[in-house]
Amino acid sequence: MASPARFPYGEFRHARDATGSRFPSEGGDILDGYAALLNAATLHPGRQPVLARSKLRCNPTEYFPPAATNLMSLLAKIRAILTLGQGVARGLPELTAEDDPIALFGRWFRDAEQAGIFMPNAMSVSTCGENGAPSARMLLLKGFDAHGFVFFTNYGSRKAKELLANPKVAMVFYWPMLERQVRVEGQVTRLPEQESYAYFRTRPRGSRIGAWASEQSGALASREVLEERVREYEAKFRGHEVPLPPFWGGYRAMPERIEFWQGRLDRLHDRLCYTRQDDSWRVTRLYP
């Protein structure tokens, strides 16, 4: 059984930064928590923050006054200047078919982590159903290796229904601070149930309850209906392990095409495209 090797399932669920400070939960001081993450990313580049899922439920401007926003903007600009040498100035080298695009993606992913980018595993995932109309949404990458890129969802969601009709996907990772993006296109397959469960049990209990309560992409009469369903499943599983829902699990996208885009001066960007040919890759440099 293939299992993603780049980072372990559940890594991003831990609510602590590199300094050991807890990221604020609901009711906490969001600004102080975010400042701790900025400090960890700026002062300890070798010990990157493990970013939590924020429970922020209101207007972010209520938590980030103008002075704090300006400070964060300044820190982002400083980091951008410090990371210019990672690609903007030098660009992409002349790669060959012998070079491994998954290994290159891994290096770029680490660069994004080390640059302190918030949620570097965020990606746009596009699917297309029988009617030919594309749809896109943001998801979190939960693992990758030579076998593909892994993400999880409800099998009753719109994306899952479209993947059932047309099991192909297009994903985009965009790291603006580094002026980099990666486009991945390929065929998807469902993960084995035991692999989905291995990830599911690393999720916070509330997220596992939420997976049962949500009929993802279905019509919802009101927020109260959803919260009542959450209470029902909390009562049902109280004192017990929350099992994997039969309608929830993972997909692995096996890449057939991977394009690396590196921003350069005067919009003369570098683009290298890898196309799978049997067990090897063909690499082509594209016009910007």
Residues 6+ apart with CB under 8 A from 212: 233, 237, 242, 245
**Is 74 in a helix, a strand, or coil?**
helix
pLDDT at 50: 41
Q: What is the residue type of 164?
A: L
User: Residue 120 above 90 pLDDT?
Assistant: yes
User: Residue 40 above 50 pLDDT?
Assistant: no
pLDDT at 88: 55
Region 26-41: what's the mean pLDDT? Answer: 39
Find out whether 275 and 257 touch, Cβ atoms under 8 Å: yes
User: Residue 49 above 80 pLDDT?
Assistant: no
More confident residue, 21 or 132: 132
pTM for this predicted structure? 0.71
For 163-213, what is each residue's pLDDT tens digit? 999 999 999 999 999 999 999 999 999 999 999 999 999 999 999 999 999
CATH superfamily of 11-201+244-286: Electron Transport, Fmn-binding Protein; Chain A (2.30.110.10)
How far, rounded to the nearest angstrom, does the alpha carbon of residue 207 sit from its chain's CA centroid?
17
CB crowding 260-274: b at 16 or more within 10 Å, else e: bbbbbeeeebbbbbb
Mean pLDDT of the chain, nearest integer:
79
pLDDT at 168: 97
Going from the C-alpha of 42 to that of each of 7, 68, 78, 216, the distances in angstroms are 22, 16, 10, 38
For 249-286, what is each residue's pLDDT tens digit? 999 999 999 999 999 988 999 999 999 998 899 999 99
In whole angstroms, what is the distance from residue 257 CA to residue 261 CA?
13
Active site residues: 267
Region 64-82: what's the mean pLDDT? Answer: 63
Region 124-153: what's the mean pLDDT? Answer: 96
